[in-house]
Structure 1
Amino acid sequence: MKNAMVGRQPILDKNENLFAYELLFRSPDDNRITDGEKATAEVIINSLESIGLSNLTQNKPAFINFTSKMIKNKIFDILSSESIYIEILETVEVDKKIIEICKELKSEGFKIVLDDFEFEDSLIELIKMADIIKIDFLNSTKKVRKATLNLIKSKYNQNVKFLAEKIEDYSQFQEAKEFNYDYYQGFYFTKPDIVSGKKVEPFRLSYVNILEELNKENPNFREIEKNIKQDLSMSYSLLRLVNSAAYGYDINSIRQGIVILGVDKLKKWSLLYSFKSINSSKPDILLKTSLIRAYFAESLKKHLNIDEDLFILGMFSLIDAYLDRNLEEILSQISMKEEFKEALISKEGKLGDVLKIIDIYEKSNWKSLKEFSLKPEILFNDYLKAIEKAEEIFEIT
């Protein structure tokens, strides 16, 4: 049990803002939930106590899967109704006891979510109580999904909200929007199409801090580097500037770009950037994910014996999603070592392994780490620290 770890998958609202996280409980030795109801319950309890719910969800609601025995054993008694959504698995056999306990849950303020929903008469009582119903887009047809929504809304629960889960491509996302789903969940939301039309926008404080530092008699270049590295937009802009015809350098880190430009040119660049970005908005889950990737990549250096600045590799792994453009086209316009560009495109080699490991952690697919001869629990602590560092950046904006 000591090696039990917790994954999390974002759930977005209609405006594609982060609404909640589904917490996924796994064993590092096996990607599936461990056998036995009591064991699974212990994993949940120990994970929440050792990691901390707020660390995992950053005070957003948490969706937690419950089996039949876990419901009947009232495991939810240790949890807060203000922060937990009880997700009833599709494998739960609905009987009088389950219905009775779910009514109790509702009276205590818990939200009830029906997972991987397929309509059956035996579920009618639960449908009437449900706050959210999750429709699986991977294992159902459009015709069935549409009929299910119409039936439930018209006959059983007109106030229930629908969550489109396992969204994996653009057409599924468009269908979910067309049929007015309330929430979205799936691996699609780290891909480029989701941010179509969005610009890469900076943190307002980032360029203010840089300008303040540059105006000091002895600027602290480490502080300047720190501010730029925390902002995907500024990082991209700086590397593109250094890669322009005026400079033409092939660099691998933000620090190199700062040194090449020097104080005067950095001042002009920062000032120009501040004016261009005056209407910047707060970053969304995509920028937060980029930061988590960057910090996690940085921590992987010691495990993979790589003597490179991996922060930039992690940060730029979602640049195509920000610019909604082809990755190869973007990388051809910025200054970055060819090894980094090749890894971002092909995911091959030692640098490609970094990106694969990041993907493993985002999908909680820890069993795949055996390929890299790495201990999941050690990297899991690094991943949690990366989440914490990224959250710290958001707290000051």
Structure 2
Amino acid sequence: MDAVVAKQPILDKNKEVFAYELLFRGGDTGSDNFDGDKATAQVISNTLESIGFKNLTEGKPAFINFTDKLLKQGIPDLLAPENVYLEVLENVKVDSHLLYALKTYKEMGFKIVLDDFVFSENLISLVELADFIKIDFLAIRGSARKNIIEICLSHNPELKFIGEKIETHEDYIIAAKMGYDYFQGYFFIKPETIQTRESNSYEFSFFKMMEELNKAEPEFKTLEEIVKSDFSMSYSLLRIINSAHFGYDVKSIRQAIVLLGVDKLRKWSLLYFLKGLNNNKPDILFKTAVLRANFAETLSKYFSDDKSSNLFVLGLLSVIDGYLDRDIGDILEEISLFGEFKQALISREGKLGDLLSLIESFEKLNFKQCQQYLDKYSLNYDTISRKYINSLEKTEEIIEAFDNY
């Protein structure tokens, strides 16, 4: 059976990754004979272990959804309590058998999470056992988001609360003020504010570099001058070009630029600048940018007829507005990026727009929307899962390389 796994970060108040939620789907989810319990158990016991928690969660806890049937069957016994938090789905039937199972898992060291929680009297026994409660910010509105915290704490003062589907910076601020401890959603990708402001010198170098690289015929002399104007950039470029990956012995910035070529230089430049801009942003934003870049590149044969298209760059640029807190259209104008890349980044038009939409739906665990693009481009879950896992591994290599250089 084909299986796919995706992950979504859960951040703390400092916007650092606390954990990842993992969600699994089989390739035959639309079949009338599909057994979700059996599929999840099979993926957990086989596929997940072959992928490895290290690749998926970087040593952070994994939140995994469980039905009441899987909990009663003892499936969590296959997993390590230090790696996994048991996420109890909202539609479970609360009975003595389920409560006994959850008490047993707590004694084993597992953390209990209540998913998509809406308070009712019959759920008090679950609240008393839980370690975390997740509140869906799309389903629960206004003061009810705070009231549910107060009610639950009266039954279990040790509870921690996670606001999920936090998609904007405003949602994050509201949730933090209401007393939420953790936040799940892609609010960290989007700009905190959209306004015109002066760029600092670092951003100015970024705009100059990207504008030159996006010209039909970039001037190596101009590129050399831009790199030389920033000592840190010069050092990073020479370290990268002289690393074991390239195997050169280069002492000249001009030689390094010529050897790399425009496409690789464009990749390196974006990675260099995003890593630097990341100082005031959560680390997960840089990881997300690099993962999107790798994922897009692995899918290029399905979405691009132009072999010269640098879809790695497309993936990186898909979060540039979140870095600069500016409108994406204004940014692309300043770096002279036009054509299908611009259409894809601004309005998700064309094949490349579909590619970004596929990646975003995959990130957000929206498998219904994801399936639409898989069908449109004759892809399947097995293919995209393998490419995603490969992208995860490559992402870790790139991040490690930039941390070293």
TM-score (norm 2): 0.78
Between 20-29 and 55-64, the greater mean CA deviation after superposition: 20-29
- Residues 302 and 239 (structure 1), Cα distance of their counterparts in 2 relative to 1, 3 Å cut: farther
**Deviation of 1:200 (Å):** 10
Q: The residue matched to 2:29 in structure 1 has which SS? A: coil
Output the aligned Cα RMSD: 3.3
Which residue does 2:56 correspond to in 1? 56
Structure 2 residue identity aligned to 1:344: L
Q: Which amino acid aligns with 2:317?
A: F
Partner of 2:255: none
1:66–1:88 Cα contact (<8 Å) kept? yes
Distance in 2 (alpha carbons) for counterparts of 1:12 and 1:279:
16
Which shifted more, 257-266 or 21-30? 257-266
Structure 2 distance, partners of 1:177, 1:291, is: 28
Whether the aligned pair in 2 keeps the contact of 1:61 and 1:84 (CA below 8 Å) is yes
Deviations 1:282-315 (A, max 9, x none): 9611111111111112222222333211111111
Correspondence for 1:230: none
Runs of 5+ in structure 1 lacking a partner? 202-232
Equivalent position amino acid for 1:107 in 2: E
Change (3 A) 1:311 1:299: same
Distance in 2 (CA, whole Å) between partners of 1:263 and 1:172 is 43
The match for 1:259 among 220, 224, 233 is 220
Aligned match of 2:387:
382
1:240 aligns with 2:208: yes
Which 5+ residue runs of structure 2 have no aligned equivalent?
237-272
One-letter amino acid of the structure 2 residue matched with residue 348 of structure 1? E
Kindly indicate whether the alpha-carbon contact (under 8 Å) linking 2:24 and 2:43 is maintained by their aligned counterparts in 1.
yes
Distance (whole Å) between structure 1 residues aligned to residue 4 and residue 214 of structure 2: 40
Relative distance call for 1:39 and 1:343 in structure 2 (3 A) is closer
Distance 2:209 2:89 in 1: 52
Structure 1 pair 20–279 and aligned structure 2 pair: CA distance change class (3 A): closer
TM-score, normalised relative to structure 1: 0.80
Q: Residue 205 of structure 1 aligns with which residue?
A: none
1:394 maps onto 2:399 in alignment: yes
Separation of aligned partners in 2, 1:40 and 1:266: 50
Equivalent pairs counted in the alignment come to 356
SS state at 1:94 partner: coil
Give the corresponding residue for 2:87: 87
How many percent of aligned residue pairs carry the same amino acid? 44
Query: What does residue 130 of structure 2 align with?
Result: 130
User: Quick one: distance in 2 between partners of 1:63 and 1:194?
Assistant: 31
| Structure 1 residues 4-56: Cα deviation after superposition (integer angstroms, max 9, x where no partner) | 11111111111111111111111234379943423331232222123222211
Match of 1:78 in 2: 78
Helix, strand or coil at the partner of 1:113? strand
Alignment check: 8 A CA contact 2:166 2:186 kept? yes
Instruction: Work out the CA distance in 2 between the residues paired with 1:238 and 1:151.
Output: 50
1:268 aligns with 2:234: no
CA contact (8 A) 1:22 1:64 kept: yes
Q: Residue 302 of structure 2 corresponds to which residue in structure 1? A: 303
Match of 1:367 among 368, 371, 387: 371
Query: Aligned in 2, Cα 1:73/1:112: closer, same or farther, shift over 3 Å?
Result: same
